[in-house]
Structure 1
Amino acid sequence: MNWELTHRRAVITGAANGIGRATALALAAEATRLLVVDLDAERLAETAQVCRSAGALQVETFAGDLTVVENVRLVGELVRKQLGGLDLLVPAAGIIERDPIEQLSDEHWDRVMNINVRAVFQLTRELLPQMADRGSIVLFSSDAGRRGSPGKAAYATSKAAIIGLARSIVGEVGSRQIRVNVVQPGFIETQMNARTFLEKGDVLAAETPLGRHGRPEEVAQVVAFLCSDASSFVNGIVLPINGGHYMAG
């Protein structure tokens, strides 16, 4: 699919696996220039090579932990020196952990918040000054961020926080024609959801009107649309991608 993103400069985090990797490949096929980021250096290098083969005009990599603020600054330097600025920001990295609230430790809470919210905030703050007018930011929430999720309070809270962050930024960057939108994936076939699918994957598929789970590339194409001029008047939305699993609320 051609979203006419040729030469656009994009930063994608969580690019070694799952939706982040699928998004990197989708944008690579549009002849973009990419900086892909992940903790897993080996898998990240594989993603970068596949992106080059898929048609990306340029692929840079950064393997590091973005909960370390110095690494966020290093990403900013790479954007400045290697890409000469930025058009698209897609912070797709995230984790999910499980504990009932009475057993949920401060360490668990802080780890999830640091990765899912704080790192996204700090990366956005770092890169916004380099983002060209008419740029696009796509953040990741979850159905859990809208409905809550028993046993996953930290994760659900972190994903609700992303919605508040995105909608706040919208009001600050609109004068530069920068758009900020949120995708809200449901049950997608990723490593992060492997345990959930093992425990009740058949039930979740049966509850979904389309009768199946989603694929990472299906989310990636929605992200590519939100990055493109085809969505030029789409701003501040939270878009569920869940096959109709949660139709209410």
Structure 2
Amino acid sequence: MTGRAGIDTPDHRGRTGLHLAGRELDRNPDVRIRDVELTSQGWHVLRRTTFDYRRRDGRWETQQRETYDRGNGAVVLPYDSERGCVLLTRQFRYPAYVNDHPDGMLVEAAAGLLDADDPHTAIRRESAEELGVALGPLTPVLDAYMSPGSVTERLHFFAAPYTPADRTGAGGGLEEDGEDIEVLEVPFTDALAMAHDGRITDGKTILLLQWAALFGPFSPHQKSPAFAAGEEDGRTSSVRGAGPRPA
């Protein structure tokens, strides 16, 4: 009998037992897991779970939900409050392109999956790869489920100061992972306007920009010690790319 990849034999990422996730859940007495089916295991995992759910009126009913498991992730808004700018990325996103975005080129905050790392380590890794910057002290902003109707991912949000001296390279992401990322240094007021007029349509980025305006380093209210400690030197305020890409 041939083994089933991702179940009793390793898939291309070396994983087994992918059909077991969720079977042990018992934290909610109104939910009883019946069965978990593995319907697809590419780079990420799609499952169909059957469970009994007790409604508010006391009746039990059987439901099915499909969940897309891509692991958890982290996102960061690097800011230079003295120069009044933030670092963002621009890259092609096919899911947005196929769903009515004009060209699929989205302006976003740098983000990535945790893989085997903790959120702090992961976002420093992604910042080095995508932005070419060594971040200052990380400020945790919030954790959020970005699409809880179908995607299991929990995203860890951070902000962190940077200065021109913290730039370590051109960024751009990893070519072997298919990444082709343009780095943008944008005046914060311009970035906030882009979130309001539709030039920025990425949810995580809009959330971080609005947080920065209301409570963070660009808030009109008193800044926290974490932000004050992170503010160092640097000058300029024009929208531009981060410099030439490596040959």
Same fold judged by TM-score > 0.5? no
Shorter chain as denominator, the TM-score bin is under 0.3
TM-score when normalising by structure 2:
0.24
Give the structure with the higher percent strand: 2
TM-score when normalising by structure 1:
0.24
Q: Which has the larger radius of gyration?
A: 2
